[in-house]
Amino acid sequence: MKKMLILLSAVIVFFVAGCKEKEQVQQIPPGSFCVSIDDLYEGTDLLVKHVVIEAHGEKYVKISKKTGHGLIQVTPALDTELMVAEVVFVADLVKTSAPTNMLKLLIKITERRGISTGNSVGGPNSFPVEAENLADILELTLSDGLHPLGQDIVIGKLQGEPIVLSVK
């Protein structure tokens, strides 16, 4: 039940504003994008993060990891030149009676167009892991603030392999 409430919170927060400092949105310099992160929940077996990415003009947002990638084209809302992409990270370490536990991982990128949402990519994956705590296999290190466009940015690690964000 607790996990369902947390996941519901993640869906509700999709409609919360992006960059924490609204003045920062107006001051996004050319060649940069703004990231705002809400840590919704972090425990030994569950992690939920909501990330808002904002930049001027149309951009491609890509998150890649060893097992695949998600890529979405995000266009600005009609009344603004600001594109907004939302990323939700949900990781659930499920304890099993088998020698390995299961990691359920969701990384979903959604285009926000005004108050509605547009296209989205990504979905849940499940795979066996040899870990007792989520922190042993998943680390997310992306920080709030401005980041350079067009560069691959390592935003964390999954089982020792990089998770990479690119906004172009």
| pLDDT digits 0-9 by tens, 145-165 | 999 999 999 999 999 999 999
Domain carrying residue 6: 2-167
Q: What is the pTM of this model?
A: 0.82
| pLDDT digits 0-9 by tens, 55-109 | 999 999 999 988 778 899 998 877 778 899 999 999 999 999 888 999 999 999 9
Average pLDDT, the chain: 84
Residues 6 or more apart in contact with residue 60 via CB below 8 angstroms: 71, 72, 73, 74, 166, 167, 168
pLDDT at residue 26 in the model: 60
Tokens describing residue 65: 């990891």
Number of compact structural domains in the chain: 1
Distance from the Cα of residue 60 to its chain's centroid = 14
Q: Give the Cα-Cα-Cα angle 31, 36, 38 (nearest 5 degrees).
A: 160
